Structure formats: structure tokens, C-alpha cells
Structure 1
Amino acid sequence: MVFLSSRTATNSAQCLLVASACVILCVQVQAQAAGGKPASKRSESPLIADENTMQLFEMAMAALVVAFAITFMYGSITNRSLARKVAKLMEDLLTLEFAHSGVSSTEKLLKDGESYYWYYATGRRYTSGLTVFMDLAKRMDVFAYTSGLFSTPQKDRIVFYLPLTDDFDMEPMSLLLVRKKELFRLRELKEGAPLREAETVAANVLELNGIPVDFVCMTEHSDVATALLPERIRTLIQENGKYINSIHVAENGASWDSQCTLTKRLIRVDFSLPGKSSLLPAVLQAMLQISMHLVDAAGEVRLTPVSKKKAIELRKKAVQEAERHIQKKRAEEAATRRLEKKKEEEDAVGKMSREKQMKYEEKKRKKEINARMRKATRK
């Protein structure tokens, strides 16, 4: 599983802080109780504070440890309960869509950290299966929990991954529907990698009726958007727009995350869960309806010759830009290597004797003269 690494970094940091607090607390208690020395002698040491200060410090450390423990237990139990509820609702909703759901016959969920859970479903045409990734709020992290009281709280996020199979002919079409705030965030990431491919292929920004104003819709041609987002689906998007982060349909690859790099044909639906548990079934059902429609449309939609030609041209352009990017990166690496080699030679020459430096300079001049002569001969 590609997401198993670095999932518990935050929890490890918390455990380290708790352990440090416990060690400090033990040291202070031992220092206070050491040997039954008189208070006057203890106060002479600059490393040991007076008894009142010591007690306040110990109480603060104990309170910190208790806060960490309570927050961790509460957050873990809450996230596990929410993940199980989502899995149960998904199992009910997927009964008519997929032949099998759940990690196995006995296990429905796969836990990947206190905030990360996976759910699977297989057995449907046009797709090898549904992967549900749950990225829940870091409720067990006391720092994340308290920071949410003063800023925008973390949201429970779910991503549907639907890899499309290769046993059917799919038209060259790409669609990216993304919230503007999410678009700005992705553009600010290192090298802008998540959006480079999508923006090159889905080059046209369209305004569609029924799409919320805080969303950007990009695709090759208006025919693609009309086919993939009919009025029924646009109504669902309008009704659930405040929960949707992005919808991406691609048949030429994507670099959103590690899951997207596993296949060229992919549908990715990213959304947040509502704060009220009563709205959870309706939101999950709407997101699943949108996802299933996109899967069927990917296998059944046929583009007009004009839109298909434009899509192919944009893909050729994307390949050319990718090649230019690779060549530019190689040129920069080669220039860096030349500079490093030149610096190493200069350092080595600086350590030579005067006589060796003169021989080195003479050899270098001869090499430059021979290079100029060969260049002039070629001309």
C-alpha cells in the first residue's frame, strides 16, 4: 500500500513530547525526594528550584500528559467510529453497484494510522474497482485540535479512486472540476506538478450552467464537458458544491498523488464530509452517483470529429512540453556538474606547486587551441 509510510509522524512527535514530559517529571520528583536533605541545602543548588515552583512545574507536566492522553484516546475513538459509519453506509450504497465490497469477507476497513482508513469495492464494468481513502481530521493531535479553535478547523476528507480498465475504447477526454481555493493551493506546490498535465491537456476554461461560481471547469472541448456533466449531474454538484474539492477524469495519466500514478485511466473524486452526521448518507450517495455516472460515461461517450481532433492536438502539445521540461532539467543538471567539476579543478590547482601549475596551464591552453582548430575545420 503506497500510503503506509509517514502516516504516524504526528503521533510519533506527540509520543516523544509525552515521553520527554514524563522524563522531566521523574527527574524533578527524584531531585525533590533525594536523600531527605534540609530545604536550606536544597535551595543552595542553582539547579533545583524552591518547593512551590517545583510543585507548580510538576502539576503543569502532569496536566500536559493527561491532556495528551485524553485527546489521543478521544480522537482515536471518534475517528474509528466515523470510519466504521462511513464503511457501513458505503456497504449499503454499493450493494447494487459492485459485486463485492470491503477489504475481505471479515474485515471491511483497512486502518493506516489513527486518521487514515481505506475501503474497497470490486466487480463492475469499465473499472477495476473503487478505492475509498478516508483522510480524517487529526483529532488525536492536541496541537491540531486546539489550533482549530482559533482558525479554520480540519475537515474529514474522502477521495474516491476509480481506475478504468483497458478492455474498452475510451475517447481522448479529460475533465478537471476544482474549487478555486484548491486550485490556488495546488499551483503553489513544488514545481506545480499536480496541475501541469491537467492544465496542458484540459486547456479550455468553461462556464457551465449549474456549476457553482467558486469552481473552475477545465477540459479540451465543450463537448467533453456536456457529455461528462449532463444536467442531472450538474444539479448534484450544485446541491453538494460546498463539500466537493475536485473531480478529475483523465485517460492520459495524472500526478495528483501516488494512487493516480498507478494507472493512466482514472476518475478521482475528492470531497469533504458534512459536520452534521444526519447529512452524511445524502452526501455519500450524491458523490457515489457522480462517480458511477463518470465511469459509465467514460466507456460510452463518443466525441465529435472536431472535439476529438482538438483533444489529440492538445495531447501532442502536452508530450512536447513534457519533453522540453525534461531537457531543461537535464541541461540544468549538466551545468551544475560542470560548475562543480570546474570548482574541484580550481581547488586542486590551488594546492599544486608553482611548477605544476605552469604545466597545467600550458596543457590547458593546448587543449583549447586544438578545440578551436577542430571547430574551424568543421566550418
Structure 2
Amino acid sequence: MAKPPRPSASPSHLLYLLSLLSLLIIHLSTTCVLADSHFEGFEADDEDEALDSADSLQFSNLRSPPVSQSESPPATTKLTPSEPDTATADPTQSGTPDHPPTSPDLSKPSSTGFDYWDEDEFEGLPFLEQHQQQPSEPSKAAEDAVGPQDPSPDPKSTPAASPAKRSYMVEIVCGSFLIMFAINYFTGKRENENIALAWAAKFATKESIFEKNFSLLGVGEGEDSPLLLKEGQNVFKFYASGRRYCQGLLATMELKSRHDLISRIYNLIVPCKDEISFEVYMNDDAMDNVIFAVAKKKAAKGMQKELRDLQRFAGLLPPPGGRKWVAEELSVISESKEVAGDMITEAVLDQVFGEKAFEKFGKGFISMHFSDQHPGGHSKMLLFKFTLPDVNNMADMTRLVSLVPYYIDLVGRYKISPQARSKTEAARAKAAQEAHKELQNARQEALQKRKLERKKMMEEAEAKLGAEALRKKEAKERARQMKKSMPRMKMTRGH
């Protein structure tokens, strides 16, 4: 059986083989060239001998320059087999003229003034040259290995600078806030002191209202004693005594927290005013059964809900017919109509509480409260509360401050009628009984609470005991109960 004929090689297949062969030859040739360029020091002996002869001729015609000479014209040097240290330190350098990138640094001048030397003939110079070039060669090799470094990037152009800017901005804002807080602290403190001093200069100095009505002003007994007592950056107090019907007077100024920056900002949103309150401590025998209050309508409702004496004894009074009454903005809370009519006199209506007078002089009025059942340490008191004007307008509250000595005298001399007295005393007796019942109930609740706590503690202790201890305790309790239930027998001596 005949074999089939072998197919002939196509021309394209031959071209493909030739191209692969050519690529292989090119690759081998390039690797050989690279190897030769990196290992030029190991050339043929003939070439080395020719170079040595040329060097010897050149050195024989030159004079040795002094060792201290450091500048010479640049020249291209070529490594020889006699310099193995420099060749091995930087294998990328080349000494042949065919590869200029691998040549040594051309810009570095020679320190001897010649290109080649013989180690046997010039012994001192190579060591000096090598010693001078040794510190720069490692850095040069590191630079060649690492490559040229890029210049430092501009921090403004990099995105990493944004966190630094943000942190600096936060620090600037915090520092500015602290500076503003410190400046506001001292300025606000000074403003509050000026307001308090302006009030004291108007109403507590010589020929003033309190100086004419009280014999002792200030917190001390001497003439040089301070008029005001500073309890805080926005709280100032004034004390006066030495007047009939009362033990003394205490005025408390509660001003805005101007020294606090946050409070100042809050007051811009929620405005508030500077206030002054007067507490007059009446003598026990100088005040009758009087519970009376005058306030603005909104404040009057809050007072009746919060103050216990007004809630228990007094109520809102409608305007009476046939006589002048307070302005429509005010409300009167009293225990009886008689007391209210006696407290609101014609002089007071003309000076402050009337319609026309209140529009002009009553802008700073807040409330006025008299009570002989005031909760606290002192039961008989007169309370006044006003708003303070600014430093330049302290004279606007002159009529309001004049109400304090006026009502001290009026309440001190006032006596209610027998009919009103009987009603007020019955109401106070009833209130005393209710208070006593409340006290008893509170005591009973405290006792019950104490018993429950004790029982709970005993149950917890029994729960912690074991079964045997619990059985013994039950037996002991059973024996105690049986002994208690047995009849007692009394032994008598027979006659």
C-alpha cells in the first residue's frame, strides 16, 4: 500500500520560521552587547598593553604638580584594571567612548592635573585622590541607584493639605472664641457693676430715699462700710435697717449675665430684663392679718398658682364699682375686699397705679406682695419686685422705690375691722388644722415606709438563709407563739 504524499511547506510557514530565528538572533546579540558594556574591565590583553604603553609615555613627559592643586581642566577618564574598587563600586559606569552615559562625572575636576597615573611611580597621589573622593562616591552610587528625585511638591497643590487647613481653621475659631469670651467677661462685668453703682448712687447715698427713711445703710456698721454686697458677677445686695415697724430691708439686684458670652447671645434671642426685689421683714406685732398682692395680669396668675399663701387664703378680685381702681394691665389678689380697698389708696393711684400714672411711671413695675403667712423663716413680710432701667435713666423708678417706705408705714399702722378679723382668723385656724393633718399624714407615711423597708430587708435575709436555719427559725417562732398563748398562772402564798 502506497504512502500518501507529504504536503509541501507553504511560503507563509517559511516566513514565520525565519522571523522567529531573526528575533532570537537579535535578542542574543543585545544580551551580549549589554554584558560587554557592563564588564569592560575584562578586555583583551593586547588592548590593555597598548593602553599601558601609552600611559607610560604620557606620564614620562609630565611633571608632577603639587599635591595642593585642586583645579584642572576637565578630561575624560577611562577605568583601567588597576582600579578595581571604583569599577566595582558603580557597575553602571563605563570607560569606553562607545557608551558615554556610563562614563564618570565629567563635570568633576581632577585634583592632580593629569588623567592617568602609575601606582608604582606616584605612591602618595592615588591614596589621597581615593581618600578625597571616597565620601562622595557612596552618595553618587545611591543617587544612581535611586535615580533623580523629583522636587518637593507644593503643599498647596496637594489634596493632603486640606486636613491641615481644616485643623488650623478649627484652632483659629477656638482661639477667637476664647478671646471674645475673655473680652466679653470683663466688659460685661464692668457693665453690671456700673448699673449697681448707679442705683446705689441714686437711692442709697446722702439725701436719698433710703438715707431719709433708714438709719443704717450698707452691710457694715461704720461710715466707710460698703453699700453693696457683691455675691456674683450679676448679683448685688443692699441692706438697710433702723426704721419703725420693721426689722430691716434687703434689696437684691439680679442683672443679666453680661459677663457670659453664651448667656448674652441667648438674651438676644430670648430678651430678659434686669430686676431688683425688696424684702421687708416686718415686726410680729406691727402687721395684722393681711394677705394682698398686686401684679401684672400674667404674673398674677402665676403667683396665685405658685405661692401657697395666695393659693390658700386669697383670690382674684374684680374691679369694684363707684371708685377709682388700678390700671387695666394690673390684677389684684386679696383675702378680702376690705383689705384691698384699704391698701389701694388715692395717693397710690395718683402716683403709680392709676391709668395715666401707670403709663408714665409704672413701666418698671412687676409685682407687690404682702403676707402674714409667708412660708419660710420669717412669716410677716412685704415683697416688691421692679425692673431696673439703664444707667442713665435711674430716676425713672423713683416713684416705684418710694412705694417701699410708704407701705411699711401703712401696713404697720393698719388694723382690720372685727368682722374681717373673725373671718381671717377662722380661715387661719382651718389652715392650721389642715397643716397639722398634713403633718400627721406625712409622719404616718414615713412610718409605713420604714416598716415596709424593714420587712423587705427581713425577707431578703430569710431568702439567703439555708433550709436548716429556716426550719430552726420557724420552730423557735412556733414555740414563742405557744408560750404566748398559754395562760399565765400567778403563785400566791397560802395562809
Answer whether contact 1:199 1:218 (CA < 8 A) is retained: no
Residue 158 (1) aligns with residue 276 (2): yes
SS state of the match for residue 450, structure 2? helix
Aligned to 1:99: 215
Residue 134 (1) aligns with residue 273 (2): no
Deviation at 1:349, TM superposition (A): 1.4
The C-alpha deviation readout for 1:149-206, integer Å capped at 9, x for no partner, is: 122x22111111111224x543222212344444555677xxx5xx1133223x2321
The C-alpha deviation readout for 1:196-232, integer Å capped at 9, x for no partner, is: 133223x232124533445442222111111122132
Answer whether contact 2:240 2:250 (CA < 8 A) is retained: yes
SS state of the match for residue 95, structure 1? helix
Answer whether contact 1:83 1:117 (CA < 8 A) is retained: yes
Unaligned runs of 5+ in 1: 1-37, 40-48, 256-260, 373-379
Deviation at 1:132, TM superposition (A): 1.2
For the residues of structure 1 that align with 2:380 and 2:191, how far apart are their CA atoms? 35
User: 1:200 is matched with which residue: 293, 307, 312?
Assistant: 312
Aligned to 2:97: none
For 2:332, give the aligned amino acid: C
SS state of the match for residue 212, structure 2? coil
Answer whether contact 2:228 2:236 (CA < 8 A) is retained: yes
For the residues of structure 2 that align with 1:370 and 1:249, how far apart are their CA atoms? 66
Aligned to 1:224: 339
Alpha-carbon distance change, 244 to 328 in structure 1, aligned in 2, over 3 angstroms: farther
The C-alpha deviation readout for 1:210-255, integer Å capped at 9, x for no partner, is: 3344544222211111112213224413515543332121223x23
Answer whether contact 2:281 2:381 (CA < 8 A) is retained: yes
Structure 2 matches for 1:1-379, cutoff 5 A?
A: 50-91=163-204, 92-104=208-220, 105-106=223-224, 107-151=226-270, 153-166=271-284, 168-183=285-300, 192=306, 195-201=307-313, 203-208=314-319, 210-235=325-350, 236-238=352-354, 239=358, 240-252=361-373, 254-255=374-375, 261-274=376-389, 276-283=390-397, 285-360=398-473
For 2:265, give the aligned amino acid: T
Alpha-carbon distance change, 345 to 358 in structure 1, aligned in 2, over 3 angstroms: same
Deviation at 1:295, TM superposition (A): 0.8
Greater RCO, 1 or 2 (C-alpha within 8 Å, sep 6+): 1
Unaligned runs of 5+ in 2: 1-151, 154-161, 486-495
Specify the structure having the higher radius of gyration (Cα).
2
Alpha-carbon distance change, 210 to 75 in structure 1, aligned in 2, over 3 angstroms: farther
Answer whether contact 2:218 2:238 (CA < 8 A) is retained: yes
For the residues of structure 1 that align with 2:183 and 2:213, how far apart are their CA atoms? 40
The total of aligned residue pairs comes to: 311
For the residues of structure 2 that align with 1:365 and 1:187, how far apart are their CA atoms? 60
For the residues of structure 2 that align with 1:268 and 1:63, how far apart are their CA atoms? 44
TM-score by length of 2: 0.57
SS state of the match for residue 177, structure 1? strand
For the residues of structure 2 that align with 1:370 and 1:158, how far apart are their CA atoms? 73
Between the aligned residues of both structures, percent identity stands at: 25
For the residues of structure 2 that align with 1:357 and 1:56, how far apart are their CA atoms? 72
Deviation at 1:337, TM superposition (A): 1.8
Runs of 4+ deviating beyond 6 Å: 362-372
For 1:95, give the aligned amino acid: E
Aligned to 2:20: none
For 2:429, give the aligned amino acid: K
For 2:403, give the aligned amino acid: I
- Between Structure 1 and Structure 2, the one with more helix by share is 1
Alpha-carbon distance change, 330 to 57 in structure 1, aligned in 2, over 3 angstroms: same
For the residues of structure 1 that align with 2:247 and 2:426, how far apart are their CA atoms? 29
